[in-house]
């Protein structure tokens, strides 16, 4: 089984619908992240969380919300999906690292979302 | 200006060639630096961390130049299996990880 699991893997929806992408991890890491990937733009950070009660906006949080239900679970919601939210979404986890050196990011397999 | 910039390529090279990628970052307070590899339609995976003194892992060599704020990745003796997109990643001062757009490499027989 994968250490970082995302569901659904693929989803097609219509403009205005509410969508939730879920992420769970078995690595025991405190830190969890949601990124989106678009061609030519690389991965952009949407939200991140360092603990269950900690939520932080990334560079492109508008139109998204998150919930950290437990250490192992971090979900991403699109309250009212729009076509330019069509992208590949990745969840990732990492540990605290050592000193000033950040730990390795471990990614889920991605959730491909298409908004029509 | 993007925080992390890479030449998007594509780089098309023959097997056995040496290829180098560069990446520049804008935040001089950045702490940690990495190269990730991403195969088509797959998740990124860590290739190697980049240390101040430079580091090597088999055919791969990574260098960091803090004064000029750039990172490089050198691949020697390219293999077909090296074909992928290489992502430069910088750990920002507030501890989030910023990605470059990636450099695509295709190694041909």
What digits encode the pLDDT tens for the residues B35-65?
999 999 899 999 999 988 889 999 999 999 9
What value does the mean pLDDT take over residues B66-85? 96
CA-closest candidate to residue B98, choices A98, A112, A35, A114: A35
Distance of alpha carbon A68 from alpha carbon B55, whole angstroms: 37
Q: Determine, for residues A40 and B8 on separate chains, whether the beta-carbon distance falls below 8 Å.
A: yes
- pLDDT score recorded for residue A44: 92
Please check the confidence at residue A100 and state whether its pLDDT lies above 60: no
Put simply, the answer to whether A42 touches B100 (Cβ < 8 Å) is yes
Q: Using a CB cutoff of 8 Å and minimum separation of 24, what contacts does A55-63 make?
A: A56/B96, A58/A33, A58/A34, A58/B96, A60/A36
Amino acid B41: pLDDT: 84
Element (H, E) at A100: none
B26-33 average pLDDT score: 87
A35 forms beta bridges with: A45, A90
| Helix-strand-coil split of chain B, %, nearest 5 | 5, 55, 45
CB-nearest partner of A45 from B42, B87, B96: B96
The A residues from 26 to 65 touching B (CB cutoff 8 Å) are: 33, 35, 40-45, 48, 50, 56, 58
């Amino acid at each position: 089984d994968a250490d970082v699991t995302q569901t659904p893997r693929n989803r097609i929806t219509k403009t205005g619908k509410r969508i939730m992408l879920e992420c769970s991890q078995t690595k025991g890491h405190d830190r969890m992240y949601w990124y989106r990937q678009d061609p030519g733009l690389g991965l952009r950070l949407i939200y991140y969380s360092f603990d269950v009660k900690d939520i932080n906006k990334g560079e492109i949080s508008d139109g998204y919300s998150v919930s950290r239900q437990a250490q192992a679970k971090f979900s991403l919601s699109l309250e009212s999906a729009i076509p330019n939210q069509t992208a590949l979404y990745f969840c990732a986890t990492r540990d605290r690292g050592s000193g000033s050196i950040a730990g390795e990011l471990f990614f889920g397999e991605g959730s491909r979302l298409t908004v029509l | 200006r993007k925080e992390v910039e890479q030449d998007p390529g594509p780089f098309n090279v023959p097997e056995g060639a040496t290829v180098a990628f560069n990446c520049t970052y804008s935040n001089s307070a950045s702490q940690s630096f990495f190269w990730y590899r991403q195969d088509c339609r797959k998740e990124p995976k860590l290739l190697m961390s980049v240390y101040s003194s430079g580091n090597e892992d088999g055919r791969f060599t990574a260098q960091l130049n803090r004064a000029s704020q750039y990172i490089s990745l050198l691949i020697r003796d390219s293999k077909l299996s090296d074909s992928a997109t290489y992502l430069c990643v910088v750990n920002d001062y507030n501890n989030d990880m910023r990605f470059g757009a990636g450099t695509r490499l295709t190694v041909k027989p």
